[in-house]
């Protein structure tokens, strides 16, 4: 399994977190993989065999080969049908809203074909260029030219949204929204509306996701560490609150997480991110 990340162009690094690739040989028997929230939005191009996304225990859809997956608020399962070769762009929580007119919250927990978000010919040309590109670097150049072309006017990231996300990120999701806003509590409702428009989920949800991500990294990098210590370092009220949030966003408990072969992909991504 080969997962790699790449830095974005300097003119995009305020809104694009990274580009990434994932390759898995077709002869590697892959169980269902549990995908969990990370607070970001992904533009994905499936270059290998089809990938299933399960809508129930036994039912699934085939994911579009060029799509955007919106904010994830609950875990879901995917499974490759063979060779995996995926190229993707990972946007910061507020990043992708700069490129589309569709309300960002409408993208949550589902895949949306690029042709539904951009002019059809433009979207199909982008997909074809990505397919025909001879290397990852070439694909990055293609997609960045596309994104830069969409930013004909200087993009505007609302200051209160960005400063809130920066505070959540710097405190690893530990800071309450009220403490971030300080003397701006009257702007709480305005912040909620702006988050819905630019991020697709509430500030509280994003904070819980960022906090969980930090706890996951602690667990992955210190596999012998006790859950009580992880909960303490992540500043959960107690271990019970930690386990409750963990199950909400992953669908499993922390002890099962580390030994679950359905978490191989997530563990690989979050240990490197």
Residue 55 near residue 75 (C-beta atoms within 8 A): no
pLDDT per 10-residue tile (average), the chain, 273 residues: 91 90 82 86 96 92 96 90 94 87 90 95 96 97 93 59 76 71 65 80 83 80 74 80 82 75 64 58
Place of tokens 């997609």: 143
Q: Buried b vs exposed e over 201-225: b needs ≥16 C-beta within 10 Å?
A: bbbebbbbbbbbbbbbbbbbeeeee
pLDDT value, residue 190:
74
Residue 25 near residue 49 (C-beta atoms within 8 A): no
Query: 188-198 vs 203-221: helix axis angle to the nearest 10?
Result: 70
The alpha-carbon radius of gyration of the chain (Å, integer) is 19
Residue 251 near residue 75 (C-beta atoms within 8 A): yes
pLDDT value, residue 154:
44
2-150 against 159-272: fold identical? no
pLDDT value, residue 269:
65
Q: Report d(CA 39, CA 19) in Å as an integer.
A: 16
Architecture in CATH of 2-150: Sandwich (2.60)
Architecture in CATH of 159-272: Orthogonal Bundle (1.10)
Strands 41-46 and 84-91: antiparallel
Beta-carbon contacts of 164 under 8 Å, excluding residues fewer than 6 positions away, are 177, 180, 181, 191, 195, 203
pLDDT value, residue 28:
67
pLDDT value, residue 157:
62
* Domain locations in the chain as residue ranges: 2-150, 159-272
């Amino acid at each position: 399994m080969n997962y790699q990340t790449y830095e974005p162009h300097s003119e995009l690094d305020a809104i694009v977190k990274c580009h990434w690739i994932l390759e898995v040989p077709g002869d590697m028997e892959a169980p269902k993989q549990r995908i969990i929230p990370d607070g970001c939005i992904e533009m994905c191009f499936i270059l290998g065999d089809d990938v299933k996304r399960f809508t129930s225990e036994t039912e699934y859809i085939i994911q579009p080969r060029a799509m955007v997956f919106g904010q994830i608020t609950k875990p879901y399962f995917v499974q490759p049908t063979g060779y995996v070769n995926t190229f993707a762009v990972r946007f910061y929580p507020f990043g992708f809203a700069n490129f589309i007119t569709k309300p960002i919250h409408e993208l949550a927990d589902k895949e949306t074909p690029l042709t539904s978000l951009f002019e059809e010919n433009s979207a199909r040309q982008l997909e074809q260029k990505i397919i025909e590109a001879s290397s990852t670097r070439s694909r990055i150049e293609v997609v960045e030219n596309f994104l830069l072309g969409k930013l004909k006017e200087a993009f505007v990231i609302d200051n209160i949204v960005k400063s809130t996300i920066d505070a959540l990120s710097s405190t690893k999701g530990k800071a309450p929204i009220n403490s971030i806003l300080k003397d701006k509590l009257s702007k709480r409702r305005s912040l909620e509306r702006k988050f819905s428009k630019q991020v697709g989920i509430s500030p509280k949800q994003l904070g819980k996701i960022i906090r969980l991500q930090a706890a996951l990294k602690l667990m992955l990098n210190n596999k012998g560490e006790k859950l009580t210590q992880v909960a303490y370092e992540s500043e959960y009220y107690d271990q019970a609150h930690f386990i409750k949030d963990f199950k909400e966003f992953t669908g499993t408990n922390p002890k099962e997480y580390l030994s679950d072969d359905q978490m191989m992909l997530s563990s690989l991504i979050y240990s490197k991110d």
